[in-house]
Structure 1
Amino acid sequence: MFSGLSAFPLTPMKSGVIDESAFIGLVERLVDAGVDSIGALGSTGNYAYLTREERARIAQLAVNHAGDVPVIIGISALSTREVLALAEDAQAAGASAVLLAPMSYQKLSEDEVFGLYETVTRKLSVPLCVYDNPGTTHFVFSDELHGRIAQLPNVGSIKIPGVPAAPDAARVRVERLRALIPPHVTIGVSGDPLAATGMNAGCEAWYSVIGGLFPQTALAITRASQAGDTQEALRLSEKLTPLWALFSQHGGSLRVVATAAELMGLAASRCLPLPLKNLEREDREKLARLLNELSLT
């Protein structure tokens, strides 16, 4: 489950509420493509903007429409009490695993983050993926903290926020973390522009934003790396350089991917939860041209 391509779909909105039909369509698209797992309610799934009830509903829909594909449900929240409640909902929905980032309003210490994972993992009956995403949480894990957390019960994977761009440096980074965690805990790379480099460096999984919308494109990169064809994986990733540039220009992947879903007819107009906004005018037109040129699937 914590290997290969884990595809993270949007949670599309329509008139201020969850667009269940569009979400189901995205999940079924991933199943048809043959992704290795589905990650619902990650950052791409806009978990921070949804109520507990909405998140429980998304968890149910994801599991009910994923068929035999394992579903990882995000349970991140500001308080441990909320996280435990969301974990109960995810497990009740039939999630195969959960994903947890250390969200905060007050800056967290390493001991507080360890305490969060210690409390939650001891209450789980399914595996947990540690979500290391300093771009949204503003908490920076040390490798040593990852090593401590990875010893806890039910920890199955660590989702790291990218790797150095240089292949040798990427391998050193992955090998350093690998030396500190148990062999059963996998390392998964996020940050799509560096995913091929990360998998080539030894990451077992790619936790992918584009995989949630363009699963065939992401699978081609994943399978090439898994087969040991590192140059092909890099070549396929480099073809997407204009897309990676748009991600950087717009503060990350979310607004770009959400707008792409609209342009492809997979989500209604203005599918992001307010106050977030999709791309407009020239930026939207630029993305439409790019989608046509790259033939993403």
Structure 2
Amino acid sequence: MFTGLSAFPLTPMNEDGIDEAGFITLVERLAAAGVDSIGALGSTGSYAYLSRAERARVAQLAVAHAGQTPVMVGIGSLRTRDVLNLTEDAQKAGVSGVLLAPVSYQKLSADEVFGLFETVSRNLSVPLCVYDNPGTTHFEFTDELHGRIAQLPNVASIKIPGVPADPAAAKARVDRLRALIPEHVTIGVSGDAFGATGLNAGCDAWYSVIGGLFPKTTLAITRAAQAGNAAEATRLSERLKPLWTLFAQYGGSLRVVAAAAELEGLVKHPCLPLPLKAANDLARRQIVDLIKELELS
């Protein structure tokens, strides 16, 4: 399940709770589009803002409405104890895999992060994806640490935070990591602006935020890269540059994607947990124009 397009939907919510109907709509839309897997409760899924019970419910809904599409669920939390509880809940829900980021308030050491993955991997019956996301965790993995963790049981993929923009440098970066991990462990690129470049450089998967809302658009890029048509994958990605620019302008993809989901009528307004807010009116006007201009779907 850790190849191709893994689409990461929002978990729409307000201060009263999860918008279950909206979440179901998003998940069913992804399954119908034919994504290769669904990544629930990633950063776009606002996992850090939810209680254990809410996260268990989201996992259950994702599995129940994904059809035959494999579901991966985020299990990151501040304490190892809590990660293990979330692991148990996810497995009970019937997920096909889990996604673990080394979340912490205090800056973690490499040994502490390895210990976290070592403990969790021993308590798994499903495969695990290592979530390397220094933008939110403020922990920077080395390739050597990835190599150590990749030797642990049940570790099946590494989600890296983008690649260099230059194709040759991107390939060199992927090759360096691949030389340190077992053959069965896949490498997935995140950061949507790097999706095509990462796939063309040899990444096995694209862990995509925009794929969670506009799966057909991102599937076209993914399938072109998988078919060896690097030029077409690059061309399709280049068309989306205005969207990548909007992400940067508004502090990342979450606020823009949340506003787009509201504008498309897929979720209720508001759909982010306070104090987070979807992009403002100016951005919304830009988003409406981009959805039409880029034919996002």
TM-score by length of 2: 0.99
Q: How does 1:30-109 map to 2 (within 5 A)?
A: 30-109=30-109
Separation in 2 of the partners of 1:203 and 1:240? 20
Letter in 1 for 2:79: S
| Shift in Å, 1:239 | 0.2
- The percentage of counterpart residues that share the same residue type is 73
| Shift in Å, 1:280 | 1.5
Please name the residue that 1:146 is paired with.
Answer: 146
Separation in 1 of the partners of 2:276 and 2:77? 19
Please name the residue that 1:291 is paired with.
Answer: 291
Matched, 1:239 2:239: yes
SS in 1 for 2:270: coil
Letter in 2 for 1:164: P
Q: Which runs of 5+ in 2 are unaligned?
A: none
Please name the residue that 1:164 is paired with.
Answer: 164
Residue range with higher mean Cα deviation, 251-260 or 6-15: 6-15
Separation in 2 of the partners of 1:75 and 1:178? 25
Whether the aligned pair in 2 keeps the contact of 1:196 and 1:221 (CA below 8 Å) is yes
Separation in 1 of the partners of 2:70 and 2:286? 35
| Shift in Å, 1:229 | 0.1
| Shift in Å, 1:15 | 4.8
Please name the residue that 1:270 is paired with.
Answer: 270
SS in 2 for 1:2: coil
Separation in 2 of the partners of 1:148 and 1:279? 40
Please name the residue that 2:204 is paired with.
Answer: 204
Moved over 2 A (4+): none
Deviations 1:102-124 (A, max 9, x none): 00100000000000000000110
Residue range with higher mean Cα deviation, 276-285 or 73-82: 276-285
| Shift in Å, 1:16 | 3.1
Matched, 1:279 2:279: yes
Separation in 1 of the partners of 2:134 and 2:275? 21
Separation in 2 of the partners of 1:281 and 1:210? 20
| Shift in Å, 1:3 | 0.1
Separation in 2 of the partners of 1:94 and 1:229? 36
Deviations 1:137-164 (A, max 9, x none): 0000000000000000000000000000
User: RMSD of the TM alignment (CA)?
Assistant: 0.6
Q: Which runs of 5+ in 1 are unaligned?
A: none
Count, aligned residues: 297
| Shift in Å, 1:38 | 0.4
Deviations 1:222-260 (A, max 9, x none): 000000000000000000000000111111100000000
